[in-house]
Amino acid sequence: MLNKLLDGLLNPPPPKFHGVMGIWYYVDDAADAVKMLREAGHKNLNVFSPVPHHEIEHALEQGPSLVRWVTAVGGFLGATGGFALCYYSISSWPLVIGGKELFSLPPFTVIGYESMILIAGLSNLLGMLALARLPQLKQVAPYDPRFQEDRIGIWVPCDAATAARLESMMKGHGAEEVQVHA
Amino acid sequence: MSTTVKNLAMDGVNDVADRPLDQKTLNSDVMSMISLPGKVWWTIFILDLVVLGVALALVRNLIVHGWGVSGFMRPVMWAVDITNFVFWVGIAHCGTLVSAVLFLFRSHFRRAVYRLAEAMTVFGVLTAAMFPAIHTGRPWFDYWLFPYPNQRQLWTNVRSPLEWDVFAVNTYLTVSSIFFLVGLIPDVAACRDRAKHPIMKLLYTVISFGWTGANYQWKHFYGAYLFFAALATPLVFSVHSVVSWDFAMAQTPGWHSTLFAPYFVAGAIFSGVGMVIFLLVIVRKAYNMQHIVTIDHMEKLAKLVLLTSCMVGYSYLTEFFMAWYGPNKAERDVFWFRATGHYWWAFWIMFSCNVVFPMLLWMKSFRRNMTALLVLSIFVNIGMWFERFVIIVTSLTRSLNPANWFYYKISITECALIAGSFAWFFMFFLIFLRVLPSFSIAEIKETLPMPKRRGH
Amino acid sequence: MSDSVVFNRRDFLKLVGIGVAGAAAGCAKPPAEKLIPYLNAPEDILPGVAYFYSSTCRECPVGCGIVVKTREARAIKIEGNPEHPIGMGGLCARGQAGLQGLYDPDRVKSPMMKQGNAWKAVTWDEAITTVTAKLAEAKGKVLLVTGNETGSFRSLAGEFVAGAGGQHVMYEPFAYESVRAANAKTFGIGSVPRYDIGAARCVVSFGADFLETFAAPTNQARGFAAMRTKHDDGAGHFVAVEPRLSLTGANADEWVAVRPGGEMALALGMAHVILAEGLGSGVDAGLVSAFTPEAVANSTDVPAETIQRLARMFAKHRPSLAIAGGIATQSAEGTALVAAVNLLNFVVGNIGATVKFDRPLSFDGVASFAQFKTHIDAMAAGDVGLMFVHGANPAYATPKWAGFAAAAAKVPFKVSFTGVLDETAELCDLILPSTHALESWGDAESAGGVHSLQQASMRPVTVFNARPVGDVLIALGKAAGFGAAWPDAYFDYLKARWQPLHARYGAGRDFETFWLDVVKKGGVWEDAATPAVRWTGAPAFAAPQYTGTGDFSLLIAPSSHLYDGRGANKPWLQETPDMTAKAVWGSWAEIHPETAAKLGVKNGDALEVATDAGKAQLPAYLYAGIRKDVVAVSLGQGHTAFGRYAKDRGVNALDFVAQATDAASGALAYQGSKARLAKGTKAMPLYLQQAEKDQHDREIAQVIPVAALLAGAVGVGHAAEGHAVEGAHGAAKFPGHYPAGFGVHEPAEAMTRPGKFTEPLARPDSFQTPAHAITAYESKEKARSPRQNPVDVGSYKHAKHRWAMSIDLNTCTGCAACVVACYAENNIPVVGPELIKKGREMAWIRIDRFEEKLAPGANDVRFVPMMCQHCGDAPCEMVCPVYATYHNPEGLNAQIYNRCVGTRYCSNNCPYKVRAFNWFDYAAPEKTTFAFPEPLNWQLNPDVTVRSKGVMEKCTMCIQRILDGKGHAKDEKRELTDGEFTTACAQSCPTQAITFGDLADPEAQVHLKSFGERRYWVFEDLHTKPGVTYLQKIQRDSMSEGHA
Amino acid sequence: MKKTFAIVLVLVTLVAASVAFTQSFGVQMGDKKGPTQPIAYSHETHAGKLQMDCRYCHYGASKSAWVNIPAVSTCMGCHKIALTDKPEIIKLTAYYDRGEPIPWVKVHYLPDHVKFNHKRHVLAEIACQTCHGPVQEMAVVYQYSSLKMGWCVSCHRDNLDNPKFPATMDCLACHH
């Protein structure tokens, strides 16, 4: 009963896709294919791989991730938040302890520093999830478990007309297998 | 033990013997651990739960009747509680160190071991965090330690080292857990694809966030991962420094020392790596993972132990030198008391386990002998527990005013706290072994030669 | 804070019928509470206001004046009555603890008749009729046994036995028979004199524990303090001649470890030297011709030169004072000893100067042990038909061989008026519970011409159906038909008895006004005329007699807290450590470490002590302050009844006392028994509250050699740079955080005038406000800036005071009265022996005993009252994560219980270790650790929160008193005046060693003391800037005839 | 489906949070209903209509830290003669004749670790109504203020610089 329900949840009827999915074993072939496809004007292709490959990244001409900025902002906010908390909590009810200064940097620094790390860490996570479009609730391309093992997949969304041409191109570039979704 | 396993989660994965890895077998090998546990595992697990149950019963006693049920008294108002806390925080530190610091240093041997180390970190902090919570006289008011707007218009004392602890430890718990979980995403995705049992599949599906391994995912994944490492590294050092300041900021002789922060950090890494070795030696043997975690990996860890052991030993000597050389009579008394007084045995256990025995690691043959490493790692952890015990108890026993020098006697409650903390830790760890990939598939894969048509 | 309300206010509200906002348990709303208002509103009593009644203490035979503090008509604290000539405002630990006798949970709830071995409650009417019948039967054979009674009750008792036909005997275990007998013999005055120690310039004590139990301790302590502050020209010297260094002896500059029983020879030897050298005169030198220093040296183990030195010192520093009494005189030759000492005093002319007979203590008429023994024999012989016992416990306080129990069995009917079921009451057939002294009217002639009134400070505790014993006697008399002349109530009888006093002291007032004044003041006192004292001859001075066999002499001392055992049912006294061994809740045998080594006994091991009278096992306490051939046990424990706190603890030392009395006085010879020691078999715990008595050069208790003190400015001057004054170890170290030369004043004429240092020192011109004083003087902007003055910012801007304390180690005798006062004032739970031994005592103030030198000769034992130092830069404050402890605007180190989470970090960081943690719930009635069983909780101070489990607590410098005092000043729209209120410890201190006040007031006593000479701060180098300033003990060079 | 779920979740959390927050600030959401007393004594009548001074009965307020509940004799002072026929007064007289105090039910709650001093506040010219509310309009007295710490502190905070009666924020003033 429960299992059935879970199955329903976990294996939804596969959505309909329009495009071509080529599957490669050799990394260099895949990289070439990517280059070729992009030159052929298919810039909106997606590559699936068990590990990131520099060749492919290079071929895709990816820039650096934007996460760093999110993290930086988070860290800044965290630090200010920490210091603000220290300042407010003391000024709202100034209690002298151990004859120490009410407002002194060293203790504040500890709090501010830890808060910075905390918020930076959290924003780093959120930034990554947002940019990498995680959690991914619906598939963008037909998925194959082998992508988590040793195969590389290249997905080019296109209409039925171009599909045939793409298939031959991929085959020409060492694709082990090409699935056409039309 | 995994030979007798009836495999549920995976299909077509049998016991793996030593053999060269390729991308596909790596997946299978690592995931072979994820399976319905056998008798051995269950025995250990049940025993663990029993110990934990007894401990919890005594903790309940503690809370109902008060800390009087323990052996604590004036002047020794902290003893095993904080000892455990520092010990487990220390254990926790190694994980982040291995995964974050070594990641930044691009030292590749980490890839084989960091997942286990990180798991240890998270569970270690979970264990450690319990002690500040239950060690208070009125645990039901612990939430007062967190700064939150309340009708009393009261705030916490941000100038107290203990309050720094609250921030540090909680930050550490949060960040290290995130680090751990994020690192898991690609591997869990792989598990997901193989999982048969719907509940397992659901679990993996949730943790893997629908990871597909698409290029845009990898891009941001590694972008973020780098920053996690960059954040976690300073965090490791700051957290244990803050923990050490719990003592260093006090003026109790034996505590009041500028040496403490680096000394504690070194000690933490020391004990942490010791624990990692302990776990790895057992796991790689029990699950035949020698081809994934190789002897070379182990030897590198052993060298790390040797290094930190030297640092710790140096700190001990420095402490004694300062006590002898400095003007403070009380300090001198404390250190003399440590080595020769009522708790001399604790001190010498600490010294031999942390400084003397590890010196064997200068021998390559010793470093590459798993049994030897196993034994040593146990000694290291015993030694490091006693280090905290010695620092806390002996210093307090010989407090400044001789008029109330009393000796602390450990009670059944504290014994339960010690046993319980280990039980608590291993409960998490045992489950982890059987549910999540204990070795980072994705990262190890990167170290494998990639199939290329045009040769290499 | 979820602290349960221990003292359920409603209970006593019912008692007095007051309605107030009752206490709610924690923050949760409790079930609807009932408020019970007065039925008829009395004009005088307001809820929440404290009322004070003067009365008289009945915890020992002396009868000091006391003031009883009541709230909502409950007595909650006892303090000394400053106007009273005996106590002079001070009150000893035993007096403070009287409160627990009043609220003792084991008090008899109603009259009880013995049936078989069980007690059956009866009504008062039944009881009275029974006794009346018995009175008729036993006509002429009635025996009324009481303690020392000096007032109206004595005459009532007299009239009663006269009517009933019988005798009234007053029994006191320590009746000082030998002192009285010897004085009768030598001076013709058979009473206990007043020792004016304050007038003396040097004191030699021949085994007299005059700071603990002998005569009037509080009074003598006050004089002792005055004597000790003198140090010009070698004055203020104190020598203790005793085989075992008692608490009194611990205060001495020199300990002469005389052979037991040798005190007399030593006194005579000194007299011999004085007469021989013509330093004194007045008696025929032939009397002491036999006692040449050499001869005496042989019989006492005291070197001849020491005897000569002491003699010369004694003669030189007149008026000097030699005291024989207490411990040493309770022996077979006690009378001879006192006579010898009288002779010694007489030849140097101390009689009348320091030994005064103007106000003799009223022991006249108290039966000697021998006399009491005759009564016991009479009982045994069946000559007693009916016995009444009140205020005496002979079944416990007489040695077994006296056979009291057996004799009592022969008495057909025995009635006890006791409040608690003590050993004697257990033997009786009927208990007529009497009200506690604090609940009943009475009076006493504490000393010649000192008529103290004992006022009932509250209505009898409703839990107990008790009656004033006077009323009962009257009722019985009337029932038996011989009391027709008496008024119905003892109160009226008493009042009538004061008519003659009114005639004498009325001074024109009509009786009622006179009476009211007396009630307010606590009595009337005159300066009785000083009788002329002549030497009327001495008794024969024989060599000491020892009874029994054994290598050791047994020394039995009354406990300074439990006295003769009557304090044993008071948890405060049990928990307050004996200041010699620092042990609690039991008894032990003190032996010399070397002796112990020979026996193979370690500290706390069982030791078997055997005399001819009996043997028992006790834990051994290794004490260097005792001769190698002496074993000492103190009295007071070993009760077989007397309530839960006293029963079955330790050993009753009287069981060791061999059968011997002092022929001349009839006193029981507590001393002089020979004892045999052996390693014990059964383990008996020794509950030490302080195990380590060496201060490890931590300079907690500091001394200043007289030389350095006389050097005055010089010493202080370069000390101000932080150097140690040259001199004995642990000498003055002066603080660095005060400017150089601070507190220096012209020493020249100061040194020459006696008593100078009891007076406040002039404020020096170089005065600068101390860094940690609240700076009322500083300019506003300076005061506002945290950098300038960390204790005057934010909400602190109205700060005006800096509460502080100064403690003079020179006058602290370690009597621990302050400890008990603090227990009483601050609702401190009693935790019992096991926890004390573990180091979990809850006391807020304790007295640390440090033994620098413990051997015959120069003596150096130091007592340090240690409580929260209220540091300006408190280490505990900065580590608390929740501000539960912080610095209050008035310089107090505050501890907020209900905010405390219980991390215990503050205690770990406290250098003085003066913070107490609530390990268990001492405040929860349902818990086994509950510390205030009904009705002990009635004593709790409503102004102080009762702390719950898991919170830290510590000295607050009696913040409730501070707030109260400030409140009064506000009401009267005036500034506070110095000394208008003080802390419980300072109030109780018999020697006024503790001074409390406002450090920011440059004229305040505490200020002048804190910045005068001899001041130092414990752990000053930690820069904690304590609010408690200690004054160094003056260390005298005792080996030079007292010269400085 | 998913969307609605998410929205609901968010809303629930927000509500919970805000409730907790406001609660934590001790905002009064309490009932205005006091307990029923053994005798239906009406402050409305005495303090309101008859304009009696509070301290005529609660005379302790300005003299002591604790306020006294008037004794039965105080009531009888008037009611020996006044309205003796009214049922409630008959009840009262019964108590008086039985020599039995009236078991009034407690209305205001303060935990035992708070040492509130009525005298100081009354002498500082703070009207009873400031804390006890419009008692003269209460037929049945109820607890008007939260009497929570924040409530005390806010007032003390405002009067820190009060020239005539400066308030303190020293914890020891109330907790000792």
Unique residue bearing structure tokens 């009965």: D57
Mark whether A120 and A144 lie in a shared domain: no
Whether residue B454 lies inside any domain: the answer is no
pLDDT band, very low/low/confident/very high, at C725 (cuts 50, 70, 90):
very low
pLDDT tens-digit map of B11-49: 333 333 445 678 888 888 888 888 888 899 999 999 999
User: CA-to-CA distance for C1017 and C804, rounded, in angstroms?
Assistant: 12
pLDDT tens-digit map of C495-536: 999 999 999 888 888 998 999 888 888 899 887 778 888 888
Are D139 and D133 a contacting pair, CB within 8 Å?
A: no
Search chain B and give the residue with CA nearest D22: B151
Whether residue B455 lies inside any domain: the answer is no
Determine, for residues C793 and A95 on separate chains, whether the beta-carbon distance falls below 8 Å.
Answer: no
**Number of domains within chain B:** 1
Which residues of chain A are within 8 Å of residue B216 when distances are taken between CB atoms?
46, 131-133
Q: Who wins on pLDDT, A89 or C24?
A: A89
CA-angle at C1034, arms to C1028 and C1039, nearest 5°: 155
Whether residue C6 has pLDDT greater than 50: no
Whether residue B389 lies inside any domain: the answer is yes
Domain that holds residue A26: 15-63+138-181
Q: Edge-to-edge strands of the sheet including C237-241?
A: C320-324, C202-206, C237-241, C254-256, C857-858
The helix/strand/coil state of C178 is helix
Whether residue A3 lies inside any domain: the answer is no
Whether residue A121 lies inside any domain: the answer is yes
**Number of domains within chain D:** 1
Residue C317, judged by CB atoms within 10 A of its CB (0-12, 13-18, 19+), counts as buried
Q: Which among A113, A131, A149 is the end of a domain?
A: A131
- Residue A90 to chain C, least CA–CA distance (Å): 10
Amino acid occupying residue D114: V
Q: C277-291, C550-564, C816-830: which range is least confident on average?
A: C277-291
Are B254 and B394 a contacting pair, CB within 8 Å?
A: yes
pLDDT of residue B5: 34
CATH of the domain at B253: 1.20.1630.10
Which residues of chain D are within 8 Å of residue C802 when distances are taken between CB atoms?
none
> How far from C515 is each of A46, C149, C457, C501, C503, CA to CA, in Å?
110, 21, 16, 10, 12
Which residues of chain B are within 8 Å of residue A93 when distances are taken between CB atoms?
153-155
User: CA-to-CA distance for C14 and C353, rounded, in angstroms?
Assistant: 56
User: Neighbouring chains of D at 3+ CB pairs within 8 Å?
Assistant: B, C
pLDDT band, very low/low/confident/very high, at C11 (cuts 50, 70, 90):
very low
DSSP H stretches of helix in C317-420? 334-347, 369-380, 394-397, 404-410
Q: With a cut of 50, which residues of chain B have pLDDT below it?
A: 1-18
pLDDT of residue C35: 56
| Pairs of CB atoms within 8 A across A/B | 205
Average of per-residue pLDDT across D52-65: 89
Whether residue B456 lies inside any domain: the answer is no
> How far from C575 is each of C288, C562, C585, C646, C828, CA to CA, in Å?
47, 11, 6, 12, 11
Amino acid occupying residue C850: F
Whether residue D152 lies inside any domain: the answer is yes
CATH of the domain at A161: 3.30.70
**Number of domains within chain A:** 2
pLDDT tens-digit map of A23-48: 998 888 888 889 888 888 888 888 99
Amino acid occupying residue C80: G
Unique residue bearing structure tokens 């051997």: C855
pLDDT of residue C756: 31
**pTM recorded for the entire structure:** 0.89
Q: Show contacts of C504-507: CB within 8 Å, 24+ apart.
A: none
pLDDT tens-digit map of C597-655: 999 999 999 999 999 998 999 999 999 999 999 999 999 999 999 999 999 999 999 99
DSSP H stretches of helix in C765-871? 780-784, 817-825, 833-838
- For C984, residues 6+ apart whose C-beta sits below 8 A from its C-beta are C77, C818, C821, C822, C824, C825, C826, C958, C961
Run of H or E residues at C272? helix C263-276
Are C82 and C979 a contacting pair, CB within 8 Å?
A: no
Whether residue B453 lies inside any domain: the answer is no
Q: What is the mean pLDDT of chain A?
A: 87
Q: Identify the contact set of chain A against chain C, taking CB-CB distances under 8 A.
A: 91, 93-103
Residue numbers of C between 868 and 887 with CB closer than 8 Å to D: 883, 886
Please tell me if residue C891 touches chain D, with a CB cutoff of 8 Å.
no
C546, two tokens: 């020892």
Polymer length in residues for chain D = 176
Whether residue B398 lies inside any domain: the answer is yes
Whether residue A39 lies inside any domain: the answer is yes
Run of H or E residues at C127? helix C124-137
Which residues of chain C are within 8 Å of residue D170 when distances are taken between CB atoms?
795, 888-890, 894
Of C36, C47, C883, which has the smallest distance from its Cβ to D64's Cβ?
C47
C455, two tokens: 């006022």
pLDDT of residue A63: 81
Q: How many helices (H) and strands (E) does chain D have?
A: 8, 1
Residue B6, judged by CB atoms within 10 A of its CB (0-12, 13-18, 19+), counts as exposed
Whether residue D88 lies inside any domain: the answer is no
Q: Who wins on pLDDT, C748 or C441?
A: C441
Whether residue D142 lies inside any domain: the answer is yes
Unique residue bearing structure tokens 């030490």: C688
Of D102, D117, D166, which has the smallest distance from its Cβ to C37's Cβ?
D102
Amino acid occupying residue C351: I
Mark whether A55 and A142 lie in a shared domain: yes
Q: Phi and psi of A130, rounded to 5°?
A: -65, -50
Please tell me if residue C593 touches chain D, with a CB cutoff of 8 Å.
no
Unique residue bearing structure tokens 């605007």: C889
The interface pTM score, or ipTM, of the predicted complex is 0.89
Of C25, C27, C40, which has the smallest distance from its Cβ to D73's Cβ?
C40
C219, two tokens: 């009074």
Determine, for residues C883 and A103 on separate chains, whether the beta-carbon distance falls below 8 Å.
Answer: no
pLDDT of residue C793: 35
pLDDT band, very low/low/confident/very high, at D22 (cuts 50, 70, 90):
low
pLDDT band, very low/low/confident/very high, at C1 (cuts 50, 70, 90):
very low
pLDDT tens-digit map of A140-181: 788 888 888 888 899 988 888 888 888 888 888 888 888 888
Domain that holds residue D161: 31-69+104-173
pLDDT band, very low/low/confident/very high, at C1013 (cuts 50, 70, 90):
confident
Determine, for residues A96 and C790 on separate chains, whether the beta-carbon distance falls below 8 Å.
Answer: yes
User: CA-to-CA distance for C559 and C22, rounded, in angstroms?
Assistant: 41
Mark whether A26 and A110 lie in a shared domain: no
Mark whether A118 and A92 lie in a shared domain: yes
Whether residue D5 lies inside any domain: the answer is no
pLDDT tens-digit map of C192-217: 999 999 999 999 999 999 999 998 99
User: CA-to-CA distance for B89 and B84, rounded, in angstroms?
Assistant: 8
pLDDT tens-digit map of C83-103: 899 888 889 999 999 999 999
Whether residue A8 lies inside any domain: the answer is no
Determine, for residues B75 and C918 on separate chains, whether the beta-carbon distance falls below 8 Å.
Answer: no
Strand partners of residue C734: none
Whether residue B452 lies inside any domain: the answer is no
Are C847 and C816 a contacting pair, CB within 8 Å?
A: yes
Domain that holds residue B278: 5-447
Q: Phi and psi of C660, rounded to 5°?
A: -160, 145
